[in-house]
Every structure is written in C-alpha cells, then in structure tokens.
Amino acid sequence: MIHFHYDIPSLTALEVFEASARHLSFKLAASELEMTSGEIRRQIKAIEGELGVRLIVGPGSDVVLTSAGEDLYRLLASSSARASEVVSIITRRDYSRTATPARRMDRT
C-alpha cells in the first residue's frame, strides 16, 4: 500500500475496514462502498497483513472484530465523527470571502 506522511495503512483500506466493522457485515460494507465482497475481503486481508494482526475473524459475510479490530474501529469512528463536526463548522461559515492565510502547521 502507498503511504504518504503518516505511518498508517491506506485511507481506502481504513474506509473499507470502518464500513465492515460498523455494519458487522462484508456484504453491507460492499454495498455501501459499491465494491464486491471479494474486494472488501482483499482490502481487509491487506490491512491485516500490513499491521501483522487479525482485525476480523469468522467465516461467511458476518464480521466479528478481534480486540485489535475493536480498538481500531473505535479510533476510526471517533476520528470520523470529529472530522464530520469540523466539516460542518467549515461549511456553515463563509471561508470563501476571507483572504487571511491560515497559520502554518508544524510538520515534523
């Protein structure tokens, strides 16, 4: 998987895992993401291989999270909720009229 700056799996793989964990179903995640169940499973296998730990166990299309899977899902759900809050704040304000540059973020 391609990594950019942060030492995390691809955002696509994380999105696939989050949807699978949220629905507790590969089939529902596949439907939501407009992918096949096979593509979902391949992404899950890839992220598990990259992390070196199982995130999901169980046969069939039902998803059972391991403790590592639960930890990762809680983090992703919390981060997504916070990102949604920030996006809502941004869209309620009219930033397009401001010409003030944002402060530079420290990128160490």
pLDDT at 83 over 60: yes
Side chain identity at residue 20, one-letter code: S
- Asked if 32 and 17 touch (Cβ cutoff 8 Å), the reply is no
Length of the chain: 108
Cβ(10)–Cβ(50) below 8 Å: no
The mean pLDDT of 58-78, rounded to a whole number, is 90
- Could you tell me which residue, 56 or 93, shows the higher pLDDT? 56
Residue 24 clears pLDDT 60, i.e. is over it: yes
- Quote the mean pLDDT of the chain: 86
Structure confidence at residue 93 as a pLDDT band (50, 70, 90) = confident
Q: What is the pTM of this model?
A: 0.78
The string of DSSP letters for 41-94 reads HHHHHHHHHHHTS--EE-STTB-EE-HHHHHHHHHHHHHHHHHHHHHHHHHHS-
> What pLDDT is attached to residue 4?
57
- Which amino acid would we find at residue 94? D
CA distance 37 to 23: 13
Residues 66, 57: contact at Cβ < 8 Å? yes
User: Higher pLDDT residue, 86 or 104?
Assistant: 86
Average pLDDT over residues 68-78: 97
